[in-house]
Amino acid sequence: MKIKILLGDISTVKTGVVVNAAKPTLMGGSGVDGAIHNKVNKINGTYFLKNRILENFGVCDDEDYPRIKPGELYITRGYGCWHEIYHAVGIAQMKKQTNFAQKVNLMN
């Protein structure tokens, strides 16, 4: 398997898999997360990726968003943009959820 690290706009990269620096809710946001959602939605329709994720989790309304924990990975299809999207919640998201000691423990 060959892995490349590229610098630039993730929404313009032609590759099989992109890794999304996702929020725990997987519902998009700013930065990489927003760019990926925007690219998929531009091709497939408004809120397309958000709605597919909600369907996959069996969630019917916006008030019951799914959540994944830092360090976990959720894989979706690429919906015409890439083969797959790996949504990963990183340690930086833990600032809102845990204290420093827990972050350090997770990194070790």
Give the CATH H-level superfamily of domain 10-107.
Leucine Aminopeptidase, subunit E, domain 1 (3.40.220.10)
Q: Which residue has the higher pLDDT, 95 or 79?
A: 79
Q: How many CA atoms lie within 13 A of 56 on its CB side?
A: 14
Q: Read off the pTM.
A: 0.79
pLDDT digits (tens, 9 = 90+) for 5-55: 888 898 998 899 999 999 999 999 889 999 999 999 999 999 999 999 999
What amino acid is encoded at 108 in this protein? N
Percent of the chain having pLDDT more than 70? 81
Once rounded to an integer, what is the mean pLDDT over residues 62-67?
76
Q: Which residue has the higher pLDDT, 66 or 20?
A: 20
Does 92 score more than 90 pLDDT? no
Buried b (16+ CB within 10 A) or exposed e, 7-28: eeebbeeeeeebebbbbbbbbb
